[in-house]
């Protein structure tokens, strides 16, 4: 009965919710009445504010139009300068690429010569150095190397260079772009000789062959760079870049001026947008206040009579709340113990319970009945539309079926209860005969799926003992999941099963 009492409290909580709802309705009506005066004052104040904002919007619009024309003129000038700058930059870039390309054509030969130098080792250098009276071609190559290193072209100087451990490193790291032109003029004395070529030199000395390649590659690089107009081109490119830099700075100055003007224009635009937004906000407030005033007036006018009815209903609910403890106790007792009793005995036992509650000072509603205080009238009407007989005894039985904690056992010789339940549950209901061979399987499916089941048994039949855990709701819980044992099988129990 305690569990049934707790369950019955839900309906009386519903009564409390309804009471709050009607009280909120009365509160809203009272607020609407008080807000009408406030909204009327607000409407009067909004008119001048909207008019003032409209004037500000017009002034800002005129100023924006004037500034926009000035900005467009400056933007057009900057755009022309940007186009000119882009064109000139492209010309200089193409010219620089052409000079670089011409210079890059001779670089592979120089790099190949440097690689040949890198392939030499100390033994190769020592091979040249040990000469007391070196061959003419060896002397010619070493003199050429001395001149490029800006040393005296003598065999003594050459031997000193060859004896330096960093000799090859000096050759590889020689600054080819800053060798004086007079050095190359002096070099021609040796490089223009008919036998000064790698193949002829290589027949005399392998090491000198690589040195000869290096000398010729440097000379060729210098010829292409200075004599082949690469250097003049580079100078003109540098001069053009310098001029472009000056022009670019002037363009940046114009762009900064344009940015400042555009920022000023944007600030005006932001101010204009803000003012328009404020104007629209004020107009929207006026629109909302007007509509609220109209709705509040209509609400108060239309609900004038409802206000009286709501007050009366609240008064009745307040009386009901006063007896909620006793009403809940009587409802729980009725649902728990009424089951097998006749209508006459139910009236007698209710009278006894009422007397005990009164003598024990348990508050009870003066007109308490199980049907009126447990279910709504609409719910009773739905039950009757589904086939429930209209008498008071049947309505009480329906309450026991729907709200009782135990499964209902219905003796139904006329089939009225079966018809009512079938129409209430619809197609989901499984109607099972206890003697049917698939009875337990059908019940197991309904338990798993949480579907309703109606078990029909004749008076002469004995129930299968496997039904006992189901009828007694012998449910166990593990890891948050409910289970019920049917025979030797544990089945997941769905709380929606009934």
Highest mean pLDDT among 78-87, 98-107, 465-474: 465-474
How far apart are alpha carbons 301 and 43 in whole angstroms?
Answer: 21
68 CB-near residues (< 8 Å, 6+ apart): 265
How far apart are alpha carbons 366 and 111 in whole angstroms?
Answer: 116
Greater pLDDT, 107 or 73? 73
How far apart are alpha carbons 456 and 450 in whole angstroms?
Answer: 19
What integer pLDDT is reported at residue 326 of this predicted model? 77
Q: Where are the alpha helices (DSSP H) in 119-194?
A: 122-129, 136-148, 155-163, 167-172, 181-191
What integer pLDDT is reported at residue 349 of this predicted model? 86
Q: Where are the alpha helices (DSSP H) in 303-404?
A: 304-322, 324-337, 343-359, 370-374, 377-385, 392-403
Q: Indicate if the pLDDT at residue 107 is higher than 70.
A: no
- Sign of the CA dihedral 357, 362, 366, 368? negative
What integer pLDDT is reported at residue 2 of this predicted model? 44
What integer pLDDT is reported at residue 185 of this predicted model? 86
* The domains spanning 110-229 and 416-497 adopt the same CATH topology: no
- Token output for 175: 């600054």
pLDDT interval class at 387 (50, 70, 90): confident
What integer pLDDT is reported at residue 44 of this predicted model? 65
Residue range 244-281, pLDDT digits in tens:
666 667 666 766 766 766 676 677 677 667 767 766 77
**Mean per-residue pLDDT for 200-221?**
82
Query: Phi and psi (nearest 5°) for 438?
Result: -100, 20
- Sign of the CA dihedral 270, 272, 274, 276? negative
| Cα maximum dimension of the chain | 150
How far apart are alpha carbons 212 and 113 in whole angstroms?
Answer: 9
What integer pLDDT is reported at residue 432 of this predicted model? 86
Name the CATH topology of 110-229: Histone Acetyltransferase; Chain A (1.20.920)
Highest mean pLDDT among 102-116, 291-305, 310-324, 325-339: 325-339
139 near 155, Cβ under 8 Å? yes
User: Which CATH architecture does the domain made up of 416-497 adopt?
Assistant: 3-Layer(aba) Sandwich (3.40)
Query: Phi and psi (nearest 5°) for 485?
Result: -95, 120
pLDDT interval class at 217 (50, 70, 90): confident
- Sign of the CA dihedral 74, 75, 81, 85? positive
**Mean per-residue pLDDT for 79-108?**
62
Q: Indicate if the pLDDT at residue 352 is higher than 80.
A: yes
Q: What percent of the chain has pLDDT over 70?
A: 60
Q: Which of 301-305, 453-457, 491-495 has the lowest mean pLDDT?
A: 301-305
DSSP symbol at 431: E
Residue range 430-487, pLDDT digits in tens:
888 888 888 888 888 888 898 999 888 887 777 778 888 888 888 888 888 998 888 7
Helix axes 343-359, 392-403, angle to 10 degrees: 70
How far apart are alpha carbons 179 and 174 in whole angstroms?
Answer: 9
How far apart are alpha carbons 281 and 298 in whole angstroms?
Answer: 25
187 near 148, Cβ under 8 Å? yes
Would you list the domain boundaries of the chain? Answer: 110-229, 416-497
275 near 57, Cβ under 8 Å? yes
End-to-end CA distance of the chain: 20
Q: Which of 93-107, 157-171, 172-186, 301-315 has the lowest mean pLDDT?
A: 93-107
The DSSP element (H or E) to which 477 belongs, if any, is strand 475-478
115 near 260, Cβ under 8 Å? no
pTM of the model: 0.44
- Token output for 226: 């200075």
What integer pLDDT is reported at residue 181 of this predicted model? 82
């Amino acid at each position: 009965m305690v569990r049934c009492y707790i369950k019955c409290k839900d309906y009386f909580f519903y009564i409390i919710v309804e009471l709050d709802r009607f009280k909120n309705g009365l509160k809203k009506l009272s607020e609407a009445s008080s807000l009408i005066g406030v909204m009327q004052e607000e409407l009067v104040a909004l008119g001048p504010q909207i008019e003032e904002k409209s004037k500000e919007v017009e002034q800002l619009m005129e100023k924006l139009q004037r500034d926009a024309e000035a900005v467009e003129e400056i933007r057009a000038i900057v755009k022309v300068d940007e186009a000119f700058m882009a064109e000139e930059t492209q010309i200089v870039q193409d010219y620089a690429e052409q000079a670089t390309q011409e210079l890059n054509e001779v670089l592979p030969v120089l790099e190949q010569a440097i690689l040949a130098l890198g392939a030499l080792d100390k033994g190769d250098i020592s091979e040249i150095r040990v000469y007391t009276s070196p061959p003419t071609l060896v002397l010619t190559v070493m003199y050429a190397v001395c001149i490029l290193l800006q040393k005296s072209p003598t065999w003594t100087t050459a031997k000193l260079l060859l004896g330096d451990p960093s000799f090859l490193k000096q050759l590889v790291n020689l600054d080819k772009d800053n060798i004086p032109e007079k050095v190359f003029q002096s070099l021609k004395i040796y490089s223009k000789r008919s036998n000064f070529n790698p193949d002829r030199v290589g027949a005399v000395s392998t090491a000198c062959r690589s040195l000869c390649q290096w000398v010729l590659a440097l000379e060729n690089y210098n010829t292409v760079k200075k004599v082949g107009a690469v250097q003049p081109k580079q100078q003109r490119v540098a001069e053009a870049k310098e001029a472009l830099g000056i022009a670019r700075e002037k363009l940046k100055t114009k762009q900064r001026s344009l940015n400042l003007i555009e920022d000023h224009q944007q600030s005006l635009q932001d101010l204009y947008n803000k003012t328009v937004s404020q104007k629209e906000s004020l107009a929207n407030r006026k629109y909302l206040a007007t509509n609220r005033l109209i709705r509040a007036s209509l609400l108060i006018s239309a609900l004038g009579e409802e206000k009286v009815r709501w007050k009366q209903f609240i008064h009745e609910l307040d009386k009901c709340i006063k007896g909620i403890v006793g009403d809940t106790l009587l409802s729980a007792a009725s649902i728990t113990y009424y089951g097998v009793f006749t209508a006459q005995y139910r009236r007698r036992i209710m009278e006894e319970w009422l007397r005990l509650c009164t003598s024990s000072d348990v508050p009870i509603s003066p007109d308490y009945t199980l049907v009126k205080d447990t279910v709504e009238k609409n719910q009773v009407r739905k039950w009757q539309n589904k086939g429930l007989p209209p008498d008071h005894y049947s309505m009480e039985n329906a309450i026991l079926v729907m709200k009782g904690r135990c499964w209902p056992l219905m003796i139904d010789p006329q089939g009225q209860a079966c018809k009512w339940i079938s129409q209430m549950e619809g197609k989901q209901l499984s109607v099972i005969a206890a003697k049917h061979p698939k009875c337990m399987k059908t019940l197991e499916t309904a338990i798993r799926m949480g579907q309703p089941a109606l078990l029909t048994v004749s008076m002469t039949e004995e129930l299968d003992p496997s039904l006992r855990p189901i009828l007694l709701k012998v449910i166990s819980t593990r890891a948050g999941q409910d289970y019920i044992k049917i025979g030797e099988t544990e089945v997941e129990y769905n709380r929606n099963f009934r």
